[in-house]
């Protein structure tokens, strides 16, 4: 019965392609404007919902990186920052004597402050023009949720041959986003503000209720991005789930967000209390126990450029990093005879060579918007020790990755291998291989289509190093998020196939881009052969909806179905939990030192 619903939903999404084309602004919007202009109240509602011109008129996106040779050696004389609210108005154009509906609209959405935008710029007034700094600034801004479009352009000065002006234009996204989800008997509602007070900070709250078990789930988080222009992101989050499990997390970190970044580091303090299944050898059913954990994690690193050729662009770096982690069980079950819940301290150091570049593409995961797709190569080594109780075990690991655009599309693949020494053979090795390949856009009767293929393979030990933290599960967001994290094993294989359609025709200026996802997975337990394990499956459909004449101009809706969920063997479904970008696409950023497959 459920499969019939899935077929019906997919048929509806596909049938959208038969709608007639509308290249220009549809007549219905002019009629709505004419009607709304007659009254102040309707004019206010119109401003909140509709735009009088498409978003690309406010800010036109750059299709490619600016060249270095065009302005080589010139000095940046002035930097002008221009911001537009989601309704298409400049801050400078807003009325000096606003009406009540103007004031209300400004309170519903607070525009990005110019200082917020300025803090993301990697170039400064008085510096020599650098095309890579211009592009990286645009890319970093484009990656922020509160930014819809960004354009950094150069204005040459007729009166000066050695100076230029830089103009930064940013179109805000609508930042207050409702959250609605349901899965089985669970229903959730919440909201996320992605540009709090125009600072680019994020505040999120979510309440969910299980109306069968009469249990609640509460979640809240606050993240301050790019504190004082330092590119340090600090956040705090807390959650109490349906099973009364608790978690509080505080973190601050500065990543290697760009090839131009020289230093990075961070720390995390976390507390959680939860009920988990304790693996017992040769047992079909694992007993449920309660644990309480305090975790402290501190890391830091430095990278320096490696130049080849003319050295005009920094894309290759060598990085060295160190990490210390303390993982303490304050409440451990007394019947844990195998010391599965083992307190440990670890220290890791790593060195890596990273080549990281980006290509500006369109129609990968978004409709007609620039997307920065990373490619390059990396190679790294890791070594360190882990101390459990009084036992010290050395560790060494190696990793390599590569990604490139080829004639048939794009691919990226990453492999990691790690080994604990002085351990039993079956308890020492770990390996992970995952990648993604997508085709070029291929012609289709009603538009174009792109295919995605993505595998993940991992193996560990018989009880995977016999600790709670370094377990293998398949509950990651890109795998089977509806599954419990207590469904663990020793090997896993995930195969994903996704299709993304981009339909040429529109209806009333609505652009529809439907997609589908199929995922199959295997998780072996207790030395079971991988393909002897039960096949897990996920089927999903979704659609991207874009309308340049709406304030809410980018909407994504999805539905995922799981035929059989482990433990209770019942089907489950998930509304609006999956996103078409949930594939393991390697960013080629510098990795923090880690044990292979921990928390996986």
Picking from 590, 140, 584, the residue whose alpha carbon sits closest to that of residue 354 is 590
Beta-carbon contacts of residue 293 (< 8 Å; ≥ 6 apart): 270, 271, 272, 273, 327, 328, 329, 330
What pLDDT is stored for residue 106 in this prediction? 62
What the chain holds in terms of domains, given with CATH numbers, is 57-172 (3.10.20.310), 245-575 (2.40.160)
What pLDDT is stored for residue 8 in this prediction? 41
Contact 217, 205 (CB under 8 A): no
Digit-coded pLDDT (tens) for 471-499: 788 888 889 988 887 788 888 999 999 99
CA dist 370 → 98, 208, 315, 411, 583 (Å) = 35, 35, 20, 19, 18
What pLDDT is stored for residue 600 in this prediction? 45
Residues of the chain falling short of pLDDT 50: 1-23, 462-466, 600
What pLDDT is stored for residue 58 in this prediction? 67
Pairing of the two strands 163-172 and 75-84: parallel
What pLDDT is stored for residue 102 in this prediction? 58
**Whole-number Å distance between alpha carbons of 563 and 560:** 10
**Whole-number Å distance between alpha carbons of 118 and 591:** 28
Contacts for 386-391: CB closer than 8 Å, 24+ residues apart:
386/344, 386/345, 386/346, 386/420, 386/595, 387/344, 387/345, 387/346, 388/339, 388/342, 388/343, 388/344, 388/467, 389/339, 389/342, 389/343
What pLDDT is stored for residue 444 in this prediction? 87
Q: Which 3 state secondary structure label does DSSP give 8?
A: helix
What pLDDT is stored for residue 88 in this prediction? 64
What pLDDT is stored for residue 31 in this prediction? 80
């Amino acid at each position: 019965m459920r499969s019939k619903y899935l077929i019906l939903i997919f048929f509806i999404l596909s049938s959208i392609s038969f709608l007639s084309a509308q290249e220009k602004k549809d007549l219905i919007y002019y009629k709505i404007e004419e009607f709304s202009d007659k009254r102040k109240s309707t004019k206010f509602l119109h401003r909140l919902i509709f735009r009088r011109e498409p978003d690309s008129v406010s800010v036109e996106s750059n299709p490619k990186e600016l060249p270095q040779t065009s302005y080589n050696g010139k000095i940046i004389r002035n930097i002008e920052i221009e911001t537009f609210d989601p309704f298409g108005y400049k801050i400078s154009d807003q009325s000096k004597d606003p009406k009540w509906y103007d004031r209300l609209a400004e309170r519903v959405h607070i525009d990005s402050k110019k200082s917020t935008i300025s803090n993301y710029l990697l170039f400064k007034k008085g510096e020599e023009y650098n095309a890579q700094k211009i592009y990286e600034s645009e890319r970093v801004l484009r990656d922020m949720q509160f930014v819809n479009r960004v354009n950094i352009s150069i204005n040459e000065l007729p009166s000066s041959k050695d100076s230029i002006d830089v103009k930064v234009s940013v179109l805000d996204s609508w930042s207050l986003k409702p959250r609605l989800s349901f899965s089985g008997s669970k229903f959730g509602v919440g909201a996320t503000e992605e540009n709090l007070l125009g600072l680019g900070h994020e505040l999120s709250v979510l309440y969910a209720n299980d109306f069968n078990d009469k249990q609640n789930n509460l979640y809240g988080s606050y993240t301050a991005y790019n504190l004082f222009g330092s590119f340090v992101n600090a956040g705090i989050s807390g959650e109490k789930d349906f099973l009364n499990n608790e978690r509080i997390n505080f973190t601050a970190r500065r990543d290697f967000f760009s090839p131009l970044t020289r230093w990075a580091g961070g720390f995390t303090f976390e507390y959680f209390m939860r009920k988990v299944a304790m693996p017992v050898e040769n047992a079909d059913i694992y007993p449920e126990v309660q644990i309480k954990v305090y975790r402290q994690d501190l890391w830091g690193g430095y990278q320096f450029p490696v130049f080849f050729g003319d050295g005009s662009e920094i894309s290759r770096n060598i990085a060295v990093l160190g990490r210390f982690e303390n993982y303490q069980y304050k409440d451990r079950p007394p019947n844990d005879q195998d010391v599965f819940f083992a307190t440990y301290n670890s220290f890791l150091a790593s060195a890596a060579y990273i080549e990281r570049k980006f290509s500006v593409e369109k129609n990968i995961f978004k409709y007609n918007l620039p997307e920065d797709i990373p490619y390059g190569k990396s190679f790294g080594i890791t070594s360190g020790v882990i101390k459990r109780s009084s036992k010290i075990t050395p560790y060494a690991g190696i990793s390599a990755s590569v990604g490139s655009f080829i004639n048939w599309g794009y691919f990226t693949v990453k492999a990691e291998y790690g080994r604990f020494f002085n351990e039993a053979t079956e308890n020492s090795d770990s390996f992970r291989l995952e990648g993604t390949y997508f085709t070029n856009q291929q012609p289709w009767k009603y538009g174009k289509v792109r295919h995605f293929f993505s595998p993940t393979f991992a193996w560990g030990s018989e009880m995977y190093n016999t600790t709670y933290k370094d377990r293998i599960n398949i509950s990651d967001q890109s795998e089977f998020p509806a599954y419990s994290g207590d469904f663990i094993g020793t090997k896993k294989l995930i195969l994903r196939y996704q299709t993304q359609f981009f339909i040429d025709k529109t209806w009333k200026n609505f652009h529809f881009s439907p997609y589908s996802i199929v995922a199959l997975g295997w998780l072996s337990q207790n030395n079971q052969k991988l393909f002897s394990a039960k096949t897990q499956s996920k089927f999903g459909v979704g659609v991207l909806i874009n309308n340049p004449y709406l304030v809410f101009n980018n909407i994504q809706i999805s539905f995922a179905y799981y035929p059989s969920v482990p433990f209770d063997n019942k089907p489950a479904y998930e509304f609006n939990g999956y996103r078409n970008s949930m594939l393991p696409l390697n960013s080629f950023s510098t990795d923090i030192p880690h044990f292979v497959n921990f928390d996986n």
